């Protein structure tokens, strides 16, 4: 390998390690950790939404659920989900060479895709395989594996484990994945085959399209309290989201992360919904409060009401006091 090519390989290895840290690192804000929290909350909300359908009705047909509590659940869920999706499409600080750079850097899926696209020329077949420690030429390994199988049959050994060093299927499968990424046929493979920049752009376009409505909603209604002048520049459809918008964003985010993680970076990306290590529905059939304790809830409400009224009284001593 030429010195220049060695330098490019080292650059790719360094970028790949950085991208793996962004997507699957231990940091609480790593992309997969963000998605795991988002889909867990979505799973819980889906359960709550399903349970609402089984709620009894009174003699007038009114569903016997607390409107006060369930409105809060709805509001908090939409705000939390919209903010989570908005963070994943954050572009990062203006002018930075990558979204994660500097004191205001962020971990975002859009930022990861943009940085990969910026370095697409480093994503060659040879670099990808070398960085993952996967042999480029697997035919000699397949021949040895076949010889090993023949030896086992001749020794009348019906059940055996193939040694790890004879695994030719992994590099063969990785070559096939790179064929798709680079738009190359099996019989025209070269070491310099590069991941197609238009494929990376397609991933960015899909992500932006699926999250556009949620991003607009978050910018206008959550991250910023848009004034009438700002609201006048968009239609009502652009600043309101539905569960359909959320599920569409979830699907595309999960698909993009899987494709990037597994096929471009060569790391395992499975389902983002964590397996509960506890009984997630324990006590879900219990009422929030007993009838005997409801008067205490009224007391809590009235106490907070009194505080609010107090805060709305002129207090010159408070005004003069330095913060």
Residues contacting 63, CB < 8 A, separation 6+ = 52, 55, 56, 57
Structure confidence by residue, pLDDT tens digits, 6-26: 799 999 999 999 999 999 999
> Total domain count for the chain?
2
**Residue in 11, 268, 209, 20 with CA at minimum distance from that of residue 120:** 11
Q: Domain check: are 146 and 240 in the same one?
A: no
Per-residue model confidence (pLDDT) at position 199: 96
Q: Say which residue the tokens 């006060």 belong to.
A: 68
One domain for residues 268 and 222: yes
pTM assigned to the model:
0.90
pLDDT per residue over 197-243, tens digit each?
A: 999 999 999 999 999 999 999 998 888 877 776 666 666 666 688 99
pLDDT digits (tens, 9 = 90+) for 182-204: 999 999 999 999 999 999 999 99
Flag whether pLDDT at 293 surpasses 70: yes
Average of pLDDT values for 272-280?
Answer: 94
In a domain? residue 164: yes
The parent domain of residue 236 ranges over 3-123+195-296
Give the pLDDT of residue 96: 86
Q: Are 220 and 286 contained in the same domain?
A: yes
Q: Assess whether 71 and 166 both reside in one domain.
A: no
pLDDT tens by residue, 133-183 = 999 999 999 999 999 999 988 888 888 899 999 999 999 999 999 999 999
């Amino acid at each position: 390998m030429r010195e220049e090519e060695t330098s490019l390989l080292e650059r790719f290895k360094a970028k790949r390690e950085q991208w793996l840290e962004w997507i699957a690192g231990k940091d609480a804000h790593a992309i997969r950790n963000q998605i795991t929290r988002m889909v867990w909350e979505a799973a819980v909300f889906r359960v709550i939404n399903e349970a609402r359908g089984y709620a009894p009705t009174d003699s007038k047909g009114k569903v016997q659920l607390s409107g006060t509590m369930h409105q809060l659940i709805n509001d908090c869920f939409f705000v939390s989900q919209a903010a989570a999706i908005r963070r994943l499409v954050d572009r990062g600080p203006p002018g930075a060479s990558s979204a994660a750079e500097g004191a205001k850097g962020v971990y975002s899926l859009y930022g990861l895709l943009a940085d990969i696209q910026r370095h697409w020329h480093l994503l060659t077949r040879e670099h990808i395989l070398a960085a993952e420690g996967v042999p480029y030429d697997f035919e000699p390994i397949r021949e040895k594996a076949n010889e090993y199988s023949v030896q086992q049959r001749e020794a009348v050994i019906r059940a055996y484990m193939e040694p790890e060093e004879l695994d030719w299927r992994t590099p063969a499968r990785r070559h096939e994945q790179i064929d798709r990424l680079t738009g190359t046929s099996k019989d025209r493979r070269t070491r310099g085959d590069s991941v197609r920049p238009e494929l990376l752009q397609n991933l960015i376009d899909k992500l932006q399209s699926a999250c556009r409505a949620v991003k607009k909603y978050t910018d206008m209604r959550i991250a910023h309290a848009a004034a009438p002048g700002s609201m006048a520049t968009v239609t009502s459809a652009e600043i309101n989201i539905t569960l359909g918008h959320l599920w569409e964003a979830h699907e595309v985010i999960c698909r993009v992360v899987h494709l990037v993680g597994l096929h471009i970076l060569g790391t395992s990306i499975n389902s983002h919904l964590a397996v509960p290590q506890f009984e997630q529905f324990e006590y879900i059939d219990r009422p929030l409060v007993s009838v005997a304790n409801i008067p205490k809830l009224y007391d809590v409400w009235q106490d907070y009401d009194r505080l609010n009224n107090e805060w709305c009284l002129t207090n010159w001593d408070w005004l003069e006091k330095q913060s």
